[in-house]
């Protein structure tokens, strides 16, 4: 009887201990983004839709509404004069969110100035921040580095980037990205590691040229390469060498770069991102 009483007592105590455990804090998500041409907006809306998250746009008081060259000229002037553009107040109560997906286009190798203005105004300490961006060739890695320096007490999670020329890939890639990060449920298969690189063959160099040859901001030659299988087909990781710019033989090469190239079955090779 004493043994039975003791067993029941332990069971009740265990049940009480279990019932008294604090419940996990619910994760509330905000998708916050700046988009000049709506490219980043496409990604932001896809993320918000899949997560059922709140969404808000970062809006400059004086919009960057000129053409490409006008935007470049204004941005260069602001950088030279160390001017940070003013933005309209953020309406969301950031203290109510555990996770913030922060989106932006890449300008001059990092997040666009309105995002810099936002980061100067807020303290994201203790929050999980998930960067996402759109770009011409790359910039996710460099922008994430600057983001971590700007908000050192935030937890910066792995980010997602996509070329503006590949927005049709966003639904599939965002779905995979969110599953990989554990933000949504579903099957996700981690891609295999790239094997050791080898000297690019003529055939592999031709794949690199086909993917990058028409991009005006890149003039490079493939040196080494590795390949792996991905759901879409074959992904190549090239190490390439920048060549002197055409029309300016005095400009020295800019060094090496990493270039990811995707060859989907039956499709023309495309590069997906560049890491300089």
pLDDT at 89 exceeding the cut of 90: yes
Same domain, 33 and 154: yes
Distances (CA, A) of 53 to 29, 50, 256: 5, 8, 39
Per the structure, the count of domains in the chain is 2
Same domain, 109 and 50: yes
Residue 131 lies in a domain: yes
Binned at pLDDT 50, 70 and 90, residue 12 comes out as very low
pTM here?
0.88
Binned at pLDDT 50, 70 and 90, residue 64 comes out as very high
Task: Give the integer Cα–Cα distance in Å for 215 and 275.
Answer: 15
Task: Give the integer Cα–Cα distance in Å for 229 and 210.
Answer: 19
Same domain, 243 and 150: no
Query: What is the residue range of 263's domain?
Result: 198-275
pLDDT at 232 exceeding the cut of 70: yes
Same domain, 69 and 139: yes
Dihedral (CA of 73, 74, 78, 84) sign? negative
CATH number at residue 73: 3.40.50.360
Same domain, 173 and 54: yes
Span 127-186, pLDDT tens digits: 999 999 999 999 999 999 999 999 999 999 999 999 999 999 999 999 999 999 999 999
Same domain, 139 and 54: yes
Same domain, 176 and 205: no
Q: Pick the last residue of a domain from 180, 213, 248.
A: 180
Q: Pick the last residue of a domain from 115, 147, 180.
A: 180
- Beta bridge mates, 107: 110
* Coil, helix or strand at residue 219: coil
Same domain, 228 and 259: yes
Task: Please report, rounded to a whole number, the percentage of residues in the chain having pLDDT higher than 90.
Answer: 79
Same domain, 141 and 210: no
Average pLDDT over the chain, rounded to an integer: 89
Task: Please report, rounded to a whole number, the percentage of residues in the chain having pLDDT higher than 70.
Answer: 87
Task: Give the integer Cα–Cα distance in Å for 109 and 195.
Answer: 28
pLDDT at 245 exceeding the cut of 50: yes
Task: Give the tokens for residue 190.
Answer: 């981690």
Task: Give the integer Cα–Cα distance in Å for 32 and 91.
Answer: 11
Number of Cβ within 10 Å of residue 44's Cβ equals: 27
DSSP codes of every residue in 61-98: SS---S-HHHHHHHHHHHHHTT----BPPP-S-GGG-S
- CB-based contacts of 238, cutoff 8 Å, min separation 6: 200, 204, 208, 222, 223, 224, 225, 258, 259, 260, 261
Q: Pick the last residue of a domain from 145, 180, 215.
A: 180
Q: Look at 25-29, 199-203, 255-259 and tell me which has the smallest mean pLDDT.
A: 25-29
Residue 23 lies in a domain: no
CB environment 104-118: b (16+ within 10 A), e (fewer):
bbbbeebbbbbbbbb
Binned at pLDDT 50, 70 and 90, residue 238 comes out as very high
Binned at pLDDT 50, 70 and 90, residue 86 comes out as very high
Same domain, 131 and 258: no
**Predicted local confidence at residue 13, as pLDDT:** 42
Binned at pLDDT 50, 70 and 90, residue 96 comes out as very high
**Predicted local confidence at residue 253, as pLDDT:** 56
Same domain, 163 and 44: yes
Same domain, 113 and 235: no
Task: Give the tokens for residue 244.
Answer: 């002197």
Max alpha carbon distance in the chain (Å)? 96
Residue 41 lies in a domain: yes
Task: Give the integer Cα–Cα distance in Å for 11 and 258.
Answer: 59
DSSP codes of every residue in 146-193: HHHHHSTTSEE---EEEEGGGGGGHHHHHHHHHHHTTSS-S---PPPP
Task: Give the integer Cα–Cα distance in Å for 223 and 48.
Answer: 40
**Predicted local confidence at residue 154, as pLDDT:** 98
Q: What's the chain's length in residues?
A: 276
State the average pLDDT over residues 62-87: 91
Q: What is the 3-state secondary structure (H, E, C) of 2-28?
A: HHHHHHHHHHHHHHHHHHCCCCCCCCC
Residue 256 lies in a domain: yes
pLDDT at 59 exceeding the cut of 80: yes
């Amino acid at each position: 009887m004493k043994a039975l009483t003791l067993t029941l007592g332990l069971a009740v105590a265990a049940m009480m201990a279990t019932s008294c455990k604090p419940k996990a804090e619910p994760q509330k998500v905000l998708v916050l983004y700046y988009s000049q041409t709506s490219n980043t907006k496409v990604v932001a809306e896809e993320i918000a839709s899949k997560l059922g998250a709140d969404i808000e746009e970062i809006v400059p008081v004086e919009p960057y509404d000129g053409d490409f060259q006008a935007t470049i000229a204004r941005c260069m002037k602001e950088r030279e004069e160390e001017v940070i553009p003013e933005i309209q107040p953020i309406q969301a109560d950031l203290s109510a969110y555990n996770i913030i997906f922060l989106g932006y286009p890449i300008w001059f190798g990092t997040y666009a100035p309105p995002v810099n203005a936002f980061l100067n105004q807020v303290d994201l300490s203790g929050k999980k921040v998930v960067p996402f961006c759109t770009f011409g060739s790359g910039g996710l890695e460099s922008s994430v580095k600057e983001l971590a320096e700007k908000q050192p007490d935030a937890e910066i999670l792995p980010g997602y980037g996509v070329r503006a020329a590949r927005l049709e890939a966003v639904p599939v890639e965002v779905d995979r990205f969110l599953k990989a990060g554990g933000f949504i449920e579903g099957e996700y298969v981690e891609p295999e590691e790239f094997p050791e690189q080898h000297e690019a063959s003529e055939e592999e160099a031709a794949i690199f040229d086909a993917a990058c040859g028409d991009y005006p901001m890149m003039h490079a030659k493939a040196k080494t390469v590795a390949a792996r299988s991905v759901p879409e087909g074959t992904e190549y990781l090239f190490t390439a060498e920048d060549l002197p710019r055409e029309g300016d033989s005095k400009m020295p090469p800019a060094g090496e770069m990493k270039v990811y190239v995707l060859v989907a079955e039956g499709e023309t090779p495309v590069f997906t991102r560049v890491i300089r």
